[in-house]
Amino acid sequence: PAATPGRTDETADPIVGVVMGSDSDWSVMEAAADALAEFDVPFEVEVLSAHRTPERMLAYGKIARERGIRVIIAGAGGAAHLPGMLASVTTLPVVGVPVPLSRLDGLDSLLSIVQMPAGVPVATVSIGGARNAGLLAVKILATSDDALDAKLAAFAEDLAEQVEKKNDALHESIAAKASK
Amino acid sequence: PAATPGRTDETADPIVGVVMGSDSDWSVMEAAADALAEFDVPFEVEVLSAHRTPERMLAYGKIARERGIRVIIAGAGGAAHLPGMLASVTTLPVVGVPVPLSRLDGLDSLLSIVQMPAGVPVATVSIGGARNAGLLAVKILATSDDALDAKLAAFAEDLAEQVEKKNDALHESIAAKASK
Amino acid sequence: PAATPGRTDETADPIVGVVMGSDSDWSVMEAAADALAEFDVPFEVEVLSAHRTPERMLAYGKIARERGIRVIIAGAGGAAHLPGMLASVTTLPVVGVPVPLSRLDGLDSLLSIVQMPAGVPVATVSIGGARNAGLLAVKILATSDDALDAKLAAFAEDLAEQVEKKNDALHESIAAKASK
Amino acid sequence: PAATPGRTDETADPIVGVVMGSDSDWSVMEAAADALAEFDVPFEVEVLSAHRTPERMLAYGKIARERGIRVIIAGAGGAAHLPGMLASVTTLPVVGVPVPLSRLDGLDSLLSIVQMPAGVPVATVSIGGARNAGLLAVKILATSDDALDAKLAAFAEDLAEQVEKKNDALHESIAAKASK
Amino acid sequence: PAATPGRTDETADPIVGVVMGSDSDWSVMEAAADALAEFDVPFEVEVLSAHRTPERMLAYGKIARERGIRVIIAGAGGAAHLPGMLASVTTLPVVGVPVPLSRLDGLDSLLSIVQMPAGVPVATVSIGGARNAGLLAVKILATSDDALDAKLAAFAEDLAEQVEKKNDALHESIAAKASK
Amino acid sequence: PAATPGRTDETADPIVGVVMGSDSDWSVMEAAADALAEFDVPFEVEVLSAHRTPERMLAYGKIARERGIRVIIAGAGGAAHLPGMLASVTTLPVVGVPVPLSRLDGLDSLLSIVQMPAGVPVATVSIGGARNAGLLAVKILATSDDALDAKLAAFAEDLAEQVEKKNDALHESIAAKASK
Amino acid sequence: PAATPGRTDETADPIVGVVMGSDSDWSVMEAAADALAEFDVPFEVEVLSAHRTPERMLAYGKIARERGIRVIIAGAGGAAHLPGMLASVTTLPVVGVPVPLSRLDGLDSLLSIVQMPAGVPVATVSIGGARNAGLLAVKILATSDDALDAKLAAFAEDLAEQVEKKNDALHESIAAKASK
Amino acid sequence: PAATPGRTDETADPIVGVVMGSDSDWSVMEAAADALAEFDVPFEVEVLSAHRTPERMLAYGKIARERGIRVIIAGAGGAAHLPGMLASVTTLPVVGVPVPLSRLDGLDSLLSIVQMPAGVPVATVSIGGARNAGLLAVKILATSDDALDAKLAAFAEDLAEQVEKKNDALHESIAAKASK
């Protein structure tokens, strides 16, 4: 995937791989890419199917670290095997995103990803929680990157400020309604 | 697995592979082997882990048909990926057995096995239903084997007779209790 | 069902029966027929209700094999008894499709089909997974049909190629968006 | 089932059929028989398997009413098809008892029994609720039997008195403990 | 409820009570009334809330039998207490309809109705299964009414014929599509 | 929150705090405020996030009682920690409202709120049951306020009357339809 | 229940009613009584069945407040109607304890209690959470009782100290094990 | 926690914090500590309760990074708030372990931990999966530690070898049984 387009600095080599079983998962998984881009973390995006391209999938996982990848984010739905199978062939942390399908609200995806056997963990986030998967990758990278950690601290402050603003907006909206 | 011991005619080449993620699954999966033995279907048994030996697992699936295997029975628990991953590399029908673990009563195993994406089916049986997996393999083989089909017909008659006997035994037990 | 219309070669006798409890299930079950047609497997379609036409249903199952049927695919929803009841009167493998109804997302259908007692297996596919039911029937038939098996191998390669194409399309779409 | 032993007046013809898929269900289903015996309702007990003796099962249902049966109580577990299949061949009310198996706590049994399609109802009681199935049969019979209805009224009064006694016993037990 | 309008012969006294917790349940419960009307069973309809009019609800149940009611059909949703509470004050059989609310797909309604304690059964039908509740009431009444029983037998034959017609229609539709 | 706008008498100090994790929860939580307003209970509204403003959230809880608050109503969705965390820092009763998110129908919210460990209870209401949360707060306040208690008694009578009116309306609607 | 024994000051009139459907629930509900006793809150204990003694149950609820009761704690299992029915006839806050039965782990009890319709809230605690029900009653009473509130503050401090002690004990146990 | 005993090199400062809500969780969480010890990763163990010591808990999270901690592993059961609340006050990755309690098999714990809102991820492992939590922490640390990464690679090889040995042992056991 030499020319894999990321939406960040094209000259930087990707250090996070965002992979998914089908391009239809992109509507969910794009939020992971967006979070990485917000933190200027270079990433690549790949469609890799555990069930339709099993060998290419394993090959991706096996050479990911030597290619410079540090964290893999994998999204899949239903009998979701992609995150767990990647975790079985790499020493890298794999973040799993349960993609909800049209039935069962993603409960099957969640259980297929989180209930991994001893020895092969997958760092599972919420159903459809691709944005959190991106943020978790940033947190992992920040364990050895103080600059990135500082960005995370600023991000947390910003989250808190947004709550304040929402509180003010709600109060204004209630007051406006009451004064009518 | 040249010398894989089956419990049927050792001179016969195995035509069913009974595989499982851990030897601890044998207590559940043995019932599949027993059912095959009852029908004199030669089989082999292998411990193969989707997560701990992913490449050996895929290799097993890829050459299974040319080795003479006609049906694969795969049991796994939790985030159970073994049946689906084998199905992804073979044209053979794969029968999946959801092995129940100590929690969730096998519901996670069931969903991880049955909810496969379009293109890669797994023939799923009940939670812990290894005996039925063996019987399903026999039914599949019998689609092109009239002698085996005749055995299945006899087996079904025997099941019906057992119900009759159970009915008689229950009546006797109730009558005995009533006459006290 | 002498004149049962299949969408394949009308001169061929059907070897797969695609049955369902109501014609309203056809919107789900048609995908099974489509898969069979893709592989040129002759099939027939029947509306058979376990609960509304129990005797005709059992009669269908009992003579299916002698009529030349090799695999039965049965779809049903809710307290879905059709696949299991057919399995109780035939030596043929029965593939069960849990049809989702307007509530419970097909979980009731799945459990009613997959949790069969020892002795009478149903090869269950995913909720609404009629396409996979068709493919599973093909896999079963291919255990004794090398030409069909070769088609399955080509089909699997095609699936893999489609993933590659989806990957390329996604990359192009991302690149296009990034260059704006 | 001419000589079916019931535990009530042997000279009376049975008017309730208590049927179950296996004699192992008797430990649950006996409570239905006990309830009928308490109300002196003559009944018969049969082991009938929807999956192992489908034709005998249907035959039982078809002639039940002309044999004098007025209510059928059917217990089954897992993919529990017995109550629904009986209901499909008789005009009699069928009371279904979801028998819990070793896994899923009877949730599969409950859904397989209660979620019947329009046209073929099963009167479902609680998981393992065989005693209530017996009482429901009595209530059904009492709709046209004032003497039986009077017994039900007395039974309800007795239930209320038992609660009073339990209340007294609990108060005594607490008081005794407090005075130590 | 002297002037309770039923949609059947106004001169007939109602023998089935169709009750529900809110008039918003009528969209579901109307199917019970329709089924009763098809069989010319006189019925009445009442909005009765276990939680908002507990005493009127109990009063209804207590005098139902002496008013001539033979079966009560009660529909409720969520923490659905109406069927069970009515069952606690009458010797009549109570048929419970789990009404699905906007969340949980009626699973809460089902469990709140079906899981009654020993001594106080409710004959539970499927989630939203009001039509089946009406039919079950007819089946109960038919245990002592041969004319009604004959109607049920004809109804069952009609159900079977409809399946045949649906089968024919499906075949025609497939053939028409194939011939294009 | 000196100038927190409530929709009741602005001169009165709030005695109920209605808090939620995001202003998007207001569409659900407004019903709690409406119920309080109906009973003229002064309240305040705050957006407080357990996860985005943890310290402000705890600070709110810690000084709530000394500020005059008597009951806290907290709504949250998903991994809903707000009610439980507030309960951990205040002696006040906390009423928890499971807010349903777009998936799982609020089952995750419910379990995250209701399954509190021994020592730190949360008074949980139904999924999305904000109106009931408001009413529960009124009931709690009325344990020491006879005037408020009298209002609750009148409210209950009004609920009963509404059921009567709904019953009448349903009867009229059925009669009108029947007379056409 | 003039002479109802509580385990607190017998001269004090009870202000909390601890009620349950069966004396077998006492093993769970005793923890509610113990919590009340720890805070010297006078209480009474009653066995009251929604289904077996519906009228006595309603009578209890209707006069509870005038008898001096301020909070009712009600425990029930399965189709648990006791808390909700009591809430329907009293203005007092009712705390509901889902009592787990031998199957479904109390999920049926929880949903039957918590999913109350608008207008009639039940303050639900965790499955089997009787101790928390007692503490919630204390919190409710403390909204108008500063002395009780002070006890709750001390109780919370004690909980925190216990965590510290557990932490120390764990460290000692680990250190002891390490030094072997 | 200056003198917190770890079971690894006492002179090393801990870089992983293993925290849990109660010392009773240690039986589950010890496996996380064991995994860290196997990889010679220095760690500390703390009992910290989100609900009983909320402020000490937040204080732990807030200064964890400056104390040198790089990953926090937090286990909790039921309404499990500890992992999420820690994640809300630290930039460090938090690994959450759903501890199963005596009911619901840990499903409540899992949902309370994994379903975090956008902005505050928790890396969730399987129910009771403390060993995997330890291994995930090692994988996270190894993203910037090639020596640790090499150990992980060796560990994975060892897992694969163990599967081979289990396979051999199973074959021997079957062969021994067959030769009897």
DSSP 8-state class, residue D143 = T
Contact residues on chain E for F159, CB-CB shorter than 8 A? 49, 52
Stretch D61-82: mean pLDDT, rounded?
Answer: 98
Q: What is the pLDDT of residue G4?
A: 45
Three-state SS for G101?
A: coil
Rounded CA-CA distance B114/B120 in Å is 11
Stretch F80-88: mean pLDDT, rounded?
Answer: 98
* Residue B89: closest C-alpha in chain C: C156
Beta carbons of F125 and G120 less than 8 angstroms apart: no
Interface of A with C in 66-85 (CB under 8 A): 78-79
Q: What is the pLDDT of residue F152?
A: 98
- DSSP string of E140-153, one letter each residue: HHHTT-HHHHHHHH
**Whether H132 and A114 lie within 8 Å, measured CB to CB:** no
Q: How far is CA C3 from CA A128, C86, E168, E171, F97, in A?
A: 48, 22, 11, 9, 60
B148-168 per-position pLDDT tens digit: 999 999 999 999 999 999 999
- DSSP string of H110-138, one letter each residue: HHHHH-PPTT---EE--TT-HHHHHHHHH
Name which of G107, G127, G174 is nearest H7 (Cβ-Cβ). Answer: G174
CA distance A1 to chain C (A): 10
G in contact with C (at least 3 C-beta pairs within 8 A): no
Q: How far is CA H24 from CA D14, D74, G166, H28, in A?
A: 57, 45, 9, 8
Beta carbons of F69 and F60 less than 8 angstroms apart: no
Q: What is the pLDDT of residue A12?
A: 78
Contact residues on chain C for D87, CB-CB shorter than 8 A? 51
pLDDT band at residue D5 under the 50/70/90 scheme:
very low
Helix A146-179, helix A130-142: angle, nearest 10: 140
D160-169 per-position pLDDT tens digit: 999 999 999 9
pLDDT band at residue A178 under the 50/70/90 scheme:
confident
Q: What angle do CA G127, G133, G135 make, to 5 degrees?
A: 135
Rounded CA-CA distance D128/D100 in Å is 6
The residues near G150 (Cβ < 8 Å, ≥ 6 apart) are none
Stretch A64-73: mean pLDDT, rounded?
Answer: 98
C52-103 per-position pLDDT tens digit: 999 999 999 999 999 999 999 999 999 999 999 999 999 999 999 999 999 9
Average pLDDT, chain F: 93
B in contact with E (at least 3 C-beta pairs within 8 A): no
Q: How far is CA E22 from CA E25, E49, F169, in A?
A: 6, 7, 11
Name which of G93, G114, G129 is nearest F110 (Cβ-Cβ). Answer: G114
Three-state SS for A155?
A: helix
G45-93 per-position pLDDT tens digit: 999 999 999 999 999 999 999 999 999 999 999 999 999 999 999 999 9
Name which of D51, D107, D114 is nearest C84 (Cβ-Cβ). Answer: D51
Rounded CA-CA distance A81/B81 in Å is 6
Contact residues on chain A for H92, CB-CB shorter than 8 A? 139, 143
Q: What is the pLDDT of residue C179?
A: 80
D94-99 sheet: strands from edge to edge: D43-47, D16-20, D71-77, D94-99, D123-124, E123-124, E94-99, E71-77, E16-20, E43-47
G108-162 per-position pLDDT tens digit: 999 999 999 999 999 999 999 999 999 999 999 999 999 999 999 999 999 999 9
C20-55 per-position pLDDT tens digit: 999 999 999 999 999 999 999 999 999 999 999 999
Contact residues on chain H for B56, CB-CB shorter than 8 A? 160, 163
H27-66 per-position pLDDT tens digit: 999 999 999 999 999 999 999 999 999 999 999 999 999 9
DSSP 8-state class, residue D104 = G
Name which of F126, F160, F170 is nearest E23 (Cβ-Cβ). Answer: F170
CA distance A51 to chain H (A): 22
Contact residues on chain H for G127, CB-CB shorter than 8 A? 103-104
pLDDT band at residue F7 under the 50/70/90 scheme:
very low
**Whether D126 and G79 lie within 8 Å, measured CB to CB:** yes
Structure tokens at D73: 């109580």
Interface of F with G in 118-157 (CB under 8 A): 118-127, 129, 131-133, 135-136, 139-144, 149, 152-153, 155-156
Stretch F146-161: mean pLDDT, rounded?
Answer: 97
Beta carbons of H171 and B56 less than 8 angstroms apart: no
B23-50 per-position pLDDT tens digit: 999 999 999 999 999 999 999 999 999 9
Q: Is the pLDDT of residue G8 over 90?
A: no
Contact residues on chain G for H5, CB-CB shorter than 8 A? 171, 174-175, 178
3-state secondary structure H43-72: EEEEECCCCCCHHHHHHHHHHHCCCCCCEE
Q: Is the pLDDT of residue F39 over 80?
A: yes
Structure tokens at F56: 């402000």
Of the candidates E98, E82, E80, the one whose C-alpha atom is nearest the C-alpha of residue E32 is: E98
pLDDT band at residue D11 under the 50/70/90 scheme:
low
pLDDT band at residue G177 under the 50/70/90 scheme:
confident
Rounded CA-CA distance D49/C88 in Å is 10
User: Which range (B166-170, D68-72, F173-177) has the least confidence?
Assistant: F173-177
Q: Is the pLDDT of residue D122 over 80?
A: yes
- DSSP string of B44-59, one letter each residue: EEEE--TTTSHHHHHH
C165 close contact with B: CB closer than 8 A: no
Average pLDDT, chain B: 93
**Whether E48 and F163 lie within 8 Å, measured CB to CB:** yes
Interface predicted TM-score (ipTM) of this complex, two decimals: 0.95
Three-state SS for H13?
A: coil
D50 close contact with C: CB closer than 8 A: yes
Quick one: F155 exposed, middle or buried, by C-beta within 10 A (0-12, 13-18, 19+)?
middle
F89 close contact with H: CB closer than 8 A: yes
pLDDT band at residue C180 under the 50/70/90 scheme:
confident
Structure tokens at F122: 């949360």
D87 close contact with C: CB closer than 8 A: yes
DSSP 8-state class, residue F116 = P
Rounded CA-CA distance E75/E84 in Å is 10
Contact residues on chain E for G111, CB-CB shorter than 8 A? 79, 104, 107-108, 111-112
G27 close contact with D: CB closer than 8 A: no
Q: What is the pLDDT of residue D177?
A: 85
CA distance E153 to chain C (A): 12
Name which of C84, C89, C114 is nearest D81 (Cβ-Cβ). Answer: C84
pLDDT band at residue F3 under the 50/70/90 scheme:
very low
Contact residues on chain E for D153, CB-CB shorter than 8 A? 91
H90-141 per-position pLDDT tens digit: 999 999 999 999 999 999 999 999 999 999 999 999 999 999 999 999 999 9
Q: Give the 3-state secondary structure percentages of chain D, helix then strand then coil, rounded to 5.
A: 50, 15, 35
Contact residues on chain H for G166, CB-CB shorter than 8 A? 22-23, 47
* Residue E22: closest C-alpha in chain G: G117
B in contact with A (at least 3 C-beta pairs within 8 A): yes
G94-99 sheet: strands from edge to edge: F43-47, F16-20, F71-77, F94-99, F123-124, G123-124, G94-99, G71-77, G16-20, G43-47
Rounded CA-CA distance F36/F133 in Å is 9
Q: What is the pLDDT of residue F6?
A: 45
E104-159 per-position pLDDT tens digit: 999 999 999 999 999 999 999 999 999 999 999 999 999 999 999 999 999 999 99
Site from F10, F47, F57 to mutate, A interface, most A CB atoms within 10 angstroms: F47
Count of CB pairs separated by less than 8 Å, F with H: 101
Q: What is the pLDDT of residue A10?
A: 52
Contact residues on chain D for B127, CB-CB shorter than 8 A? 103-104
Contact residues on chain E for D120, CB-CB shorter than 8 A? 132, 159
Q: What is the pLDDT of residue E11?
A: 60
